[in-house]
Chains A and B, each alone.
Chain A
Amino acid sequence: MPQLNPEFFVSQLFWLAVFFTFLFVFLWRVSLPRIATVLEKRQNKIDENLSSAKELQEQAMEIEKKINDQINKAKLETDEKIKETINALQENVTSQLSSLDKDLEKKVSDAEKEILKSKDDQMKNINNEIVNITKLTVGKITDIEFSDNELNKVIETHKGNFN
C-alpha cells in the first residue's frame, strides 16, 4: 500500500503544513471577515427594517385610535345635536299649540259673546214684535188703544208663560 511507504512522508507533511497554514491564515484574515461583514450588514438591515416597520405600525395604530376618537366624538356631537333639535322642535310645537289654543279659546269666547248678544237682541225684537202684534190684535178686536208701556208691563208679567 503506497500510503505506508515513508519515502514521501516528510514531503507530504511539509506541503500539508504550508498549504493548510496558508489556507487557515487566508480564511481567518481575509475570507471569513468578509462574509461576516456581509452577514452583519444584512442582519443590521433586517433589524433596521423590522424596527422601522414596528414604528410605522405603532404610528398606524395611533392614527387609528385618533380616527376612532374622532368618530366617537362626532357621534356624540351628532346625538347632542339631534336631541337639541328635537327639544327645540317640541318646544316650538307646544308653544304654537298653546298659542293656537289661546286663539281658539278667544275666538270661542268671542263667538259665545256674539251669540249671547244676538240672543238678547232677538229677545228684545221678539218683545217689540209681541207688543206690536198684541197692540194690533187688541186694536182690531176692541178698538182700545194701549200705550206701549202698559203692554210691556203685561207682557213682562206673563213672560214666563211664553218660554
Chain B
Amino acid sequence: MAAKDSPLKQFEIDPISNIELGGYNISFTNSSFAMLITVLVITLFLTLTVNTRSIIPSRMQLISELMYNFIAQLLSDTVGDNGKKYFPFVFSLFMFVLIGNMVGMIPYQFTFTSHIIVTFALAAVVFIGVTILGFINHGIKFFTFFYIPGVPFYMHPLLIPIEVISYLSRPISLSVRLFANMLAGHTLLKVFAGFVVSMPFFTGVFPLAFIVALTGLEILIAFLQAYVFAILTCLYINDAYHLH
C-alpha cells in the first residue's frame, strides 16, 4: 500500500510553525493545534455557559453542571471526602481526554489522544502524583501496599513481585488503553473509508453505512475511554489513601 493511502497517515505529525528552544524542536504542530482547540472548547464552553450564573439553568449551563456533578459524584463514590482536593485535576483530565477524543472525531482533524507519548505523559503524571501522595499520606508504610494480608507466608515471595509489577505497569496500561482504542478506531474508520472509494459502482454505500455506524460507536468509545481514564485515576488516588 502506498504511503499516501496508508490508514496510519492520519496519525502523522505536521509542523505548522517550526520553533526551537534550547536545541529542542518544539514546533507547533497539528497535534498542538488539536490540543489548542480542545482547551479553547473546554474553557470557553465552561465559562460562557455558566456566565449568567442563573439558579434556573439554561440548557447549555445544565450541560456544564451535569459534567461537574458527574465527575464530583465519581470522585466522591470512589475516594470519598478526601477526593475533593483532586477534583479540579480529575475534571481537567476527564475533559481534556473527552474533548480531545471528540475533536478527533471531526473529519480531517488530528486526534492527539491516539499518540502514545501524549497518553503516556498524562498517565505518568497520574502515576507519579499518586505515588507521591501515597508516600505523603503513609510515609515508608506505603510499601505495605505490596503486602497482601491474609495470605500464607510462603506465598509472599511470589505475590510481592507481582504486586510491584502490577503497580509499575499502571501508567502503561492506563496510557496504552486510551492510545490503542483511539488508534484502532481511527484506523478502522480510515480502512473502511478506503473501501468506499475503491469499491465499484454503488457497492461503496455498504462500507459507508458501516462508517456511519462506526462513527457512532467511536463517539461512545471516546466518552467511555475518557470515563475509564478518570475513574482509574480516582481509584489510584483512593489507593494512595487506603492501603490494603
Least Cβ distance of A31 to chain B in Å?
Answer: 4
From A14, A23, A37, A39, B26 is in contact (CB under 8 Å) with A14
Q: Is the CB of A38 within 8 A of B88?
A: no
Asked if A149 is an interface residue, CB under 8 A from chain B, the answer is no
Asked if A32 is an interface residue, CB under 8 A from chain B, the answer is yes
Q: Hey, which chain B residues are within 8 Å of A3, CB to CB? A: 11, 114-117, 179, 183
Q: Is the CB of A39 within 8 A of B13?
A: no
From B21, B55, B68, B117, A12 is in contact (CB under 8 Å) with B117
Asked if A27 is an interface residue, CB under 8 A from chain B, the answer is yes
Interface secondary structure of A, over-half rule? helix
Complex Cα spacing A16 to B115, Å? 11
Q: A7-24 toward B: CB 8 Å interface, digit per residue (1/0)?
A: 111111111110110111
Chain A: residues with Cβ within 8 Å of the partner, total of: 36
Asked if A119 is an interface residue, CB under 8 A from chain B, the answer is no
A-B contact pairs, 18 of them (CB 8 A): A3-B116, A3-B179, A8-B31, A9-B117, A11-B13, A11-B25, A15-B31, A16-B112, A16-B118, A23-B42, A23-B43, A24-B88, A27-B46, A27-B88, A35-B46, A35-B68, A38-B50, A38-B54
Asked if B81 is an interface residue, CB under 8 A from chain A, the answer is no
In the complex with contacts A3-B114, A23-B96, A39-B68, A15-B28 CB distance below 8 A: yes
Q: Hey, which chain B residues are within 8 Å of A7, CB to CB? A: 13, 25
Chain B: residues with Cβ within 8 Å of the partner, total of: 50
Residue of B nearest to A5 (CB): B13
Least Cβ distance of A77 to chain B in Å?
Answer: 52
* Chain B interfacial positions (CB closer than 8 Å to A): 8-9, 11-13, 15, 21, 24-29, 31-32, 35-36, 38-39, 42-43, 46-47, 50, 53-55, 57, 61, 64-65, 68-69, 87-89, 91-92, 95-96, 112, 114-118, 121-122, 179, 183
Q: Hey, which chain A residues are within 8 Å of B122, CB to CB? A: 16, 20
Complex Cα spacing A1 to B92, Å? 29
Q: Is the CB of B118 within 8 A of A12?
A: yes
From B43, B54, B121, B183, A13 is in contact (CB under 8 Å) with B121
Knowing that A11-B32, A24-B88, A24-B92 touch, tell me 16 more A-B residue pairs with CB under 8 angstroms. A1-B8, A7-B13, A8-B29, A10-B25, A11-B27, A12-B117, A12-B118, A19-B32, A19-B35, A20-B92, A20-B122, A23-B39, A31-B43, A34-B53, A38-B50, A38-B57
Q: Is the CB of A35 within 8 A of B50?
A: yes
From B27, B39, B96, B114, A8 is in contact (CB under 8 Å) with B27
Asked if A4 is an interface residue, CB under 8 A from chain B, the answer is yes
Q: Is the CB of A16 within 8 A of B121?
A: yes
Q: Hey, which chain B residues are within 8 Å of A2, CB to CB? A: 8-9, 11-13
Q: Hey, which chain A residues are within 8 Å of B87, CB to CB? A: 32
Least Cβ distance of B221 to chain A in Å?
Answer: 18
